[in-house]
Amino acid sequence: MSNVRRFAALNTKIKSMVGKLLTQEDYQNMLVMKNEKEIFDYLNESTYYANIFKDLNEEDYSVTTVEAHIKNYIITLYKKIMCFITGDYQKLFRLLMKRFEAEDIKTYLRALILKQDVSKLYLEYPNASFYSKLDYQTLSQSADLTEFVEHLNGTIYYKVLKLYLNESSDRMLFYMEMNLDRVYFSKLSVEISKFKGDEQPISEILKMNIDFLNFQWIYRGRKFYHLSSEEVLNYTLPNGHFLNYELLKTLAYTDDEVELFEIMSHTHYKKLFEHDDKTERYLERDMDRYLYKNFLKSERESILNMVTVVTFTHRLEFEMRDLFTMIEAKHYGVSSHELKEYLIRVL
């Protein structure tokens, strides 16, 4: 089947969904609101998120509950897209959705390491069966971290998490999160390597994301967890775009963050490291903005192919993360001026 026939209906559907994304005006309106309740009401009354909170009473509004509803609504959009995807492309799309599963596991890990109650977490993921075969209800009955990991026995996550159960508490989460990402991105690398021709740009952007993850792991592993150069290099992901193994090795063996940033200022990503304030404060945001900008560029230049699908799913994810940032910032009284600096979308 030709790409024209394969993707015509799908692209029409996505084009309709793109038209419902939050606008710059929506962002500006929410930016100046006084608290998270005003944002909830605005989303419910003035945006395409309308009615997703209709089963909630006002007293049920909380940051956690609203974020869960937003996430589940976005997953319903992915489900609508899936109906139009066939063949090998469906395997890739399902793998992209697996990222939600990995992030869910991280949520459980953080809560259990902090000795928090996870008994109600499964209630927040009613759409989880779309992207995961995990038994969330059973996971939410875990009394502690060891029991949680045992509930994952038989999955691809079990061995890589069990390995670190006896690690010191200050390093355990770091190791576990890194290995979850290794599992996920190793599988994703295999799939994106199949992109050819006019679909190649999307492969390049996803490989840039691997570059950024590798840099962040090296930076944080050395600075905050005092890992050895050999150990932090061991955790880097293969198949990045511009940061090859030799360059990653050079980064891993730097003496301090000043040297690390200096090396990065001479790479393809030099614009992210040119500012005078060479710290990590806005680095993750800048990397997300870099990816966002490239996704938009690929979308403008794409024709009837999978680029449109992958770009749209990432735009939705960036929008969701910005919403979570705004809601939490308002909850903690962060000023509008400061909040603006933490958003992925530039206002």
User: Strand, helix or coil at 128?
Assistant: helix
d(CA 343, CA 281): 13
What integer pLDDT is reported at residue 63 of this predicted model?
79
Q: How far apart are CA 85 and CA 95, in angstroms?
A: 13
- pLDDT at site 232: 92
Q: What does the pLDDT look like over 136-169, one tens digit per residue?
A: 999 999 999 999 999 999 999 999 999 999 998 8
Q: For 65-74, how does the pLDDT look when each residue is reduced to its tens digit (9 = 90+)?
A: 888 888 888 8
Distance CA 334, CA 31 (A): 10
Tell me the domain boundaries of the chain.
Answer: 3-340
pLDDT in tens, 215-272: 999 999 998 888 899 999 988 988 899 999 999 999 999 988 889 999 999 999 998 9
The residue type of 143 is A
Q: Are residues 74 and 52 in contact, defined by beta-carbon separation less than 8 angstroms? A: no
